[in-house]
Structure formats: C-alpha cells, structure tokens
Structure 1
Amino acid sequence: MRRTIAVLTGATAAALVVPALVAAGPASAQGAGPAGSAQETGNTRSAQRVRAAADPVSALKRQFRTHRGVRLTENTKIIGQGGKPRTIVTRRDGVLEFGRSGPVASDLTTAFTLPTEDGELKGLSTPSRTISVKGVSYTSGGVYTDAMPEGKKWLRTRGASVSLVSPMQQIISTVEPGTLKATLAHTAAKRPGGTWDGTRTTVHSGTITLTELYRASPAVRAMLGKKPTGRSATLPVTWKIYIGSDRLVRRVVSSYTESTRGLNSTELTYVNDTRYTGWGMRSAVKAPPADQVADFDELDIGADQAEQAQNPLRELFGE
C-alpha cells in the first residue's frame, strides 16, 4: 500500500516510465540629435514589445503574478499491450496558481477509470483531491480513505516544488517557460488549430526526446529522479501545442510508448490531452485545516497490503 501511494504521488514515477524512461534597422545619420535619439529609442522599445507579444514564452511569463492562475482539465489514457491488453483512463481538473516565477500551488481532483475494480486497486476508482502549496501536498479520497486515522481527511506528503507531471499526467508541462521554449524549438509543422477557450489557435506539432525534456523540465527531472539512459534516453514524445491569438497555450496533446517488459511483459502507451482555460483568473489555494491532516506513519496499513501493491501496473497489465 505504501508503494501504491508513492507511485500515485509521483515519488517512484521513474519505475513506471523509465525501466532499468522583425529587428529594427539602423537609424539614418541625417538629422540625428536628441529628438531623433528619443524617437529611435521609442521605436526600438515598441518593436521589442511587439516581438514579446508574439512570443509564447514571454506571454506565459506575463501570467506569473501572485494569486493569479489558470484552470486545467486533463485526460490521460494508459494503454497496455502485452499480457493483458487494458486501458486506464484518468481525468484531472482544477486550478494552477502562479507566483512571480511560475506555478506555486495547485488544487486538482483526479478520477480513474480502471479495467478492473478487484483487489487493492479498487480504491483508485474513488476520485481524489490533492492540494499542493509551499512544497507540501495534501490528498483526500482515493486509495487513502480506508487507511486514514479517525477524524483525519488529508494525507500530507512533502516535496520540493509543485510537481505537475507523473506517469498519469501530461509529460510536457507548458506552464514551465523552459519546457515550452524547448518543445516549440522542435516544431516541424504549423496549421490552424480551431477555436479553444474562445480564441482561434495555431497548432504547432513535432517530436522531442525524453532526454531533451529531462534537460528542460524541472517537473520531468523530479519525476524521473535521474537522467534517462539507454533506449529511454532517445524515447520520442510526439506532441501538439495549440497557441491562441494572445500567444497563450490552450491545449497540449502528447503521446509516447515505453517498454516495461522487465517489469510486467508489456508496453505502455501514454496519451495525454490537457486544456487550459481562464488565464489570469484569481486564485488563493490554501492548505487544509491542520487538525484534519495525517502523515504516512499514522496510516493503518498492513505488511501484506504493502507486498501486494509493490507494482500496481503488474496487477493491471501483467500476465
């Protein structure tokens, strides 16, 4: 059970994903003087603002204001091909809150649709809510419910910063400026993307490797724990990013396939579809009441349960 909880909070995610994963021209010299210099400076600044407005990374950074955020809706399919061809579907919905340098808090509800509701994993079918703030996450519901002490509703887990990526979530975190920049640098095609969140979009598409994502994304580094090696290093992640007329991301679709045959004789394909709406919305994520919070050591978990849950994907997809 402890291992199951760790997997779902991203602490051992690596085991599931990576087994053994127009510039201004020069001013004319004629008529140069204080007035001309001021005009030239003004024109340069105006051109810089225009370029910045056309840059998705700059547009994202302008959203980084205290108690402002964006709503996230995400659907993920994990498709197992092998011993047991099955599909897990997850859905996350909630709010990401920004500070001056990026995401600082989140309040997200996650629901799973499993190919089976038998055994210990049946608790996953119950939606869970996770609040992350100031480097601490609090989760209520899901597999935690039956193990919580009397009177406690939230399980506390401590980590570094807010982690937006796990094997069951979007691997391309476009709320990270470095990740957005690195991914768009691999754009192979652009075309009209339809209307999302009330704005016309252009969809950029391409492929980026897991190593390149690891280099660019703090969330991916936290998820994997160490740099991917072997075949996992060059694992291709195919993506589409829908960018609105205001240069803000409205939708991200990604997919990749990872072999886990050393674990459970199968291959897992992850397909993630994330939508962002309401950029700039007000947000004030707060931790739950202290008297309703419990830590891992307080959970009522038997040794046999921990042994059975060492690898939940083996139970779902193994032979």
Structure 2
Amino acid sequence: MIAALTGATAAALIVPTLVTVAPASARTTPAAQSAAADPVSALKRHFRTHRGVKLTENTKIVGEGKKNKTIFTRRSGVLEFGRTGLVASDLTTGFNLPAQSGELKGLFAPSRTISLKGVSYTSGGIFAESMPEGKKWLRTRGGTASLVSAVQQIISTVEPGTLKATLARTGARRPGGTWDGTRTTVHSGTITLAELFRVSPAVRAMLTKKPTGRSATLPVTWKIYIGSDQLVRRVVSSYTESTRGLNSTELTYVNDTRYTGWGTKVTIKAPPADQVVEFDELLGDTTQPEDPIGEIFKG
C-alpha cells in the first residue's frame, strides 16, 4: 500500500510551471482516422512526442455485509506520450471517506503525483506532515509512469497490449452514447487478473509478483466505449477482492475512467530539485496499517 499511496496516487498542491497543456495544434485528419481500422492502431497513431490525453476518473470501493461502507476516490490529470507509448503522467487524487474512518483519514489526504523516467514525485498525501522544511515533493524510484493502484482503474487502455488483450475478450457490443463529442460503441466482457498481469506493465508494477490460486482467476468485468475514430473515450471496470486473512473483508472496486482531448499538447517536468526529498529519508519515521483500506471497512 505504501507504493499505491506514494507512487500511484496523485496531489492537491498545484505547481503550474510543471505541466504545460494546450489544445493540439495538429488534429488527426479524416484520412488518418479512416486508416485507423482498429482501436490499437488508433492509439498508436497518437504516440507522438509531447502529445497526450486528459484523464478523469471516479472509483467506488464498497464493503460487504450489513455494515458496508463506501469510499469514493477521484483522479484527474494528463498523460504524456512519446514515440513508443506512455512516458509521463501528472495526476491528482482525492478521497471521500466514511465518516467513521478516524485516524486513518490522514493516510488518504489529497495528493499529486508526477511520474516520468522511472521516477515518481508525490506532494501531499500520507507523508505531507513528515516533510522537512522547504521540501514539498517525495521522490520514489522504479517503474514507469504510474497509472494503476489498488484504488484506481485496473485496465490501462493506453497500453496497446492491454487494450488488444481486453478487447479480444469482448462478449457483446452495443451503441454506447456520445462521449467527448463523438458517438461510441461499447464493448463489454471479462478478463482475469492473471491475463492482465501478463499483458499490462501497469498491473505488474502494482502487484509486483504474479497472481496465483484464486487471485489468478479473479474476474474483472469491463466496458470500453470506443468512438467512431476508434479511440477509447471511457472505461468502466469492476472486481471483488478478498482480504481474508488480514481482516476478513471483501471489497468491490468499481472504476470509471474518461479520456478526452486526444492529441493534447503536453510537457510534464520534474519538480525543482531543491523541493525534493528521497523516500528513504522519511520511511523510518512513518508507520501505517498493513491494509489501510481494509481497516476502514473492518468491524
């Protein structure tokens, strides 16, 4: 959960100079759109230096039983592509916790995370009060741009392999309404956690090790809304995770992600070096429950 709360959740403190976002100066032409015969090809056509897409997301986490509680999270920001795919992200995350979450509220303070070049910088969140004077950003190393954590969308459709493998499990198609100004077709189906681990770098970074047993066969149900230009506009997924053995709780995660502004011009930069502190410098002074989300739903 430390990795989820520092490397993949995003923050409330805004530093305008770090990200420059503007409308795309060159949109995909109709000819190029018609040439993009499938969603994977359409996605790859947007892998251009300093181009990206805007993301907004809501997640609902529901506990089981008569005393069930609900956590709502929201995430928004921008993703930056390079010629080979996702290279950076700048995302903010906030939580709406049950009123009785008590001391755990501090673990879920709003946060912002910038990820690029295998490094993540987080401002706010669990470590905000532990930061040395003059420091605003906590740096953690390892992995690529972080898109998935336990409280965020598990199906990263900006990864070509993940998009292809998920759509290969399509069980039904129907009109999906209008999203981001374009009519969509909604594809729906189910994919297992083991399959996602195999194809998704983001899921591998989140789980760190291959799922086995019941975890491997955990079904993730999904809906992907694809526009007439074959670009993904919305992804809705859900799965139920058992934490039995820790606190005997089952949690259902429902994630709803919207993508807008494909082709947006964006340049994500690291925070000023003099405002950054290394993760190892703070780790020894901070404690947290083994499973903070499960603790909220326990009892």
Please give the residue correspondences for 1:271-310 in structure 2 after superposition, counting only pairs within 5 Å.
Answer: 271-299=254-282, 302=285, 306=287, 308-310=288-290
Partners of 1:209 and 1:235 within 8 A in 2:
yes
SS in 1 for 2:120: strand
Superposition deviation, residue 318 in structure 1: 1.8
The corresponding residue for 1:311 is 291
User: Given the superposition, is the C-alpha separation of residues 51 and 269 from structure 1 closer, same or farther in structure 2, using an over 3 Å criterion?
Assistant: same
SS in 2 for 1:262: coil
Unaligned runs of 5+ in 2: 9-31
Runs of 4+ more than 3 Å apart: 4-7, 49-52, 116-120
User: Given the superposition, is the C-alpha separation of residues 166 and 288 from structure 1 closer, same or farther in structure 2, using an over 3 Å criterion?
Assistant: same
User: Given the superposition, is the C-alpha separation of residues 52 and 225 from structure 1 closer, same or farther in structure 2, using an over 3 Å criterion?
Assistant: farther
Greater helix content: 1
Partners of 2:149 and 2:206 within 8 A in 1:
yes
Question: Distance in 2 between the 1:254 and 1:81 partners?
Answer: 18
1:5 aligns with 2:2: yes
Question: Distance in 1 between the 2:83 and 2:33 partners?
Answer: 22
Partners of 1:83 and 1:265 within 8 A in 2:
no
The corresponding residue for 2:178 is 195
Computed over aligned residues only, the root mean square deviation of the Cα atoms, in angstroms, reads 2.0
1:139 aligns with 2:139: no
Larger radius of gyration: 1
The corresponding residue for 1:253 is 236
Question: Distance in 2 between the 1:258 and 1:290 partners?
Answer: 39
1:230 aligns with 2:213: yes
| Worse overlay, 193-202 or 254-263 | 254-263
Given candidates 42, 55, 79, the residue that maps to 1:96 is 79
Partners of 1:82 and 1:266 within 8 A in 2:
no
Give aligned-pair identity as a percent: 78
Please give the residue correspondences for 1:208-219 in structure 2 after superposition, counting only pairs within 5 Å.
Answer: 208-219=191-202
Greater strand content: 2
Given candidates 139, 142, 145, the residue that maps to 1:159 is 142
Superposition deviation, residue 216 in structure 1: 1.1
Unaligned runs of 5+ in 1: 12-48
Question: Which amino acid letter does the alignment assign opposite residue 187 of structure 2?
Answer: H
List per-residue Cα deviations over 1:91-143 (Å, max 9, x = no partner).
Answer: 00000000111110011110011114654422245321111111111111122
SS in 2 for 1:168: coil
User: Given the superposition, is the C-alpha separation of residues 300 and 272 from structure 1 closer, same or farther in structure 2, using an over 3 Å criterion?
Assistant: closer
Number of equivalenced pairs: 276
Partners of 1:82 and 1:267 within 8 A in 2:
no
Question: Distance in 2 between the 1:125 and 1:237 partners?
Answer: 25
Question: Distance in 1 between the 2:60 and 2:108 partners?
Answer: 15
List per-residue Cα deviations over 1:188-216 (Å, max 9, x = no partner).
Answer: 11111000000000000011111111111
Question: Distance in 2 between the 1:198 and 1:7 partners?
Answer: 33
Partners of 2:94 and 2:109 within 8 A in 1:
yes
The corresponding residue for 1:206 is 189
List per-residue Cα deviations over 1:251-279 (Å, max 9, x = no partner).
Answer: 00000111111111110101000000000
1:185 aligns with 2:168: yes
User: Given the superposition, is the C-alpha separation of residues 93 and 121 from structure 1 closer, same or farther in structure 2, using an over 3 Å criterion?
Assistant: same
Question: Distance in 2 between the 1:186 and 1:318 partners?
Answer: 35
Normalising to structure 1: TM-score of the pair?
0.82
